Homo-oligomer: A and B are copies of this chain.
Amino acid sequence: MILDAYLQDPETEALISDRALAAAMLEVEAALARVQGRLDIIPPEAAARIEAAAAELDVDLGALSEGTVRDGVPIIALLGQLRSAVGEGHGGYVHWGATSQDIIDTALVLMFGRIMTLFAARLDDLIAIWATLADLHRGTLMAARTRGQQAVPTTFGLKVAGWIAPLLRHRQRLKDLRTNVLMLQLGGAGGTLAALGERGGAVGAALAAELELTLPPMPWHSQRDGIIDFANWLSMVNGSLGKAAGDILLLAQSEVGEVRIAGSGGSSAMPKKANPVLAEALLALARHNAGQIGALHQALPHVHERDGAAWTLEWLTLPGMIRASGAGLLHSLTMARNLTVDGPRMARNLSASHGLLLAEAASYALAPHMSKSEAQSLVKAACLEVTAERDLFQILAARTRVDVDWAALRDPTNYLGATDQFIDAILEDIPS
């Protein structure tokens, strides 16, 4: 649909395109031939021919598509093209001892590795932008809001630090994923590597090294937890981006007006509106991937040594998830770069409560002078009488005779607790 346009991005598309898949499959076939040539399992000149042909092959994608309808996998049609290119003599050595799933799954993890690299870079860029903003606004007072209600003072800097924190964990998770997800698949027709006889283990080890992939203790063709781990990461990334977007959407409401996304969307009916469409897209992408991850977990009960239904389900689901994460990261970058923060409006919203936001502060300030529950009752009663003309502190000062610095208490800057330390802790955790 036309709407896809703002739900995709070209760099990510390039990494999950048909052409990228065909290239990755050829890369695996070439590497397989190379290590088998080196190990004298196939003639070295056959290996050289295969490698050269794979590098030069101009894949007929249409034929691959037709092959997929026929065979359930694109690799059989691709092998036909590759064997033709290698030529009669050596063509038989292509794909020696392997099965379709070996090539496709290994090609996919190669693609995943590249996608991880792209997304890691985007995450780093996003963390850097948010970090600058968190630092810049460590003194920008605003209301913390719980359950939709203003609660106590906080700073916009701390809010942004809270958007960074999960992204730092996602960066860390990605490092573990590179090891656990980027695993060689090589099992042959039934997962026994029987066609390679005694040499299966040697080929596996050499191929994993060649492709810089982890060598698993046995083929994982019917063990799909690695796929899930990666997909779960994708959906968590979108979820965390969606959290920031959701906050921004609420802060951008007409009645709140604390932030604005510069250059946002127009309206066909209303000449004055500036719609926060990027933030909305981010929330939609988060909810979309949350739906997808559930569908993907349904592919874990993979039947016997190959389950075409469960395997296909992965490929109905994963490309969309990758696409959504790519778009989510890119839109987040654009949104972060174009975020306009209205500090005075934040301050105005904060002070609109006439001290109610500092009710907790008042309770704790009064507590040394009476019991905590007396303090809370006193404050609670006072809260009910607050008006635009008479703020909480005026009422409390009139009602008590204790020695409290009411002016200091009235200043929200004095009730920020560990705000700065939290921001510092987050900024220090960012790898340079």
Contact = CB atoms under 8 A, between A and B. Distances in A.
B150 A254 contact: yes
21 contacts: A2-B74, A5-B68, A6-B69, A92-B372, A92-B373, A92-B375, A143-B254, A148-B252, A149-B273, A149-B275, A188-B269, A192-B422, A204-B418, A218-B423, A229-B232, A236-B300, A239-B297, A250-B304, A255-B349, A287-B301, A290-B295
Contacts of A293: 232, 293-294, 297
A158 interface: yes
A401 interface: no
Contact of A195 (B229, B306, B308, B360): B360
Given A222-B162, A254-B148, A71 B192 contact: no
Interface stretch (A32-40, A93-101, A119-127, A335-343): A93-101
A197 interface: yes
Q: Give the interface size bracket for A toward B.
A: 35 or more
Contact of A151 (B190, B193, B280, B375): B190
B302 A297 contact: no
Total copies of the chain: 4
Given A99-B267, A154-B192, A169-B180, 13 more contacts: A5-B74, A71-B266, A72-B275, A100-B267, A146-B275, A147-B265, A151-B273, A153-B192, A195-B361, A229-B232, A254-B352, A292-B295, A294-B294
A166 B88 CA distance: 42
Contacts of A28: none
B243 A194 contact: no
Contacts of A195: 269, 360-361, 364, 417
A12 to B, nearest CB: 13
Contacts of A423: 218
Contact of A294 (B290, B308, B428): B290
Interface in A213-235: 216-220, 222-226, 228-229, 232, 235
Contacts of A79: 268
A218 B239 CA distance: 19
A147 B276 contact: yes
B320 A320 contact: yes
A281 B254 CA distance: 26
A324 to B, nearest CB: 7
Contact of A223 (B148, B166, B201, B255): B166
The 8 closest A-B pairs by CB, nearest first: A294-B294, A291-B295, A92-B372, A239-B300, A144-B190, A72-B277, A280-B308, A290-B297
Q: Most chain-B Cβ atoms within 10 A of its Cβ — which of A96, A147, A217?
A: A147
A178 interface: no
Interface string A295-329: 11111111111111111110111011000100000
A262 to B, nearest CB: 12
A240 interface: yes
Interface centre among A253, A305, A306 (most CB of B within 10 A): A305
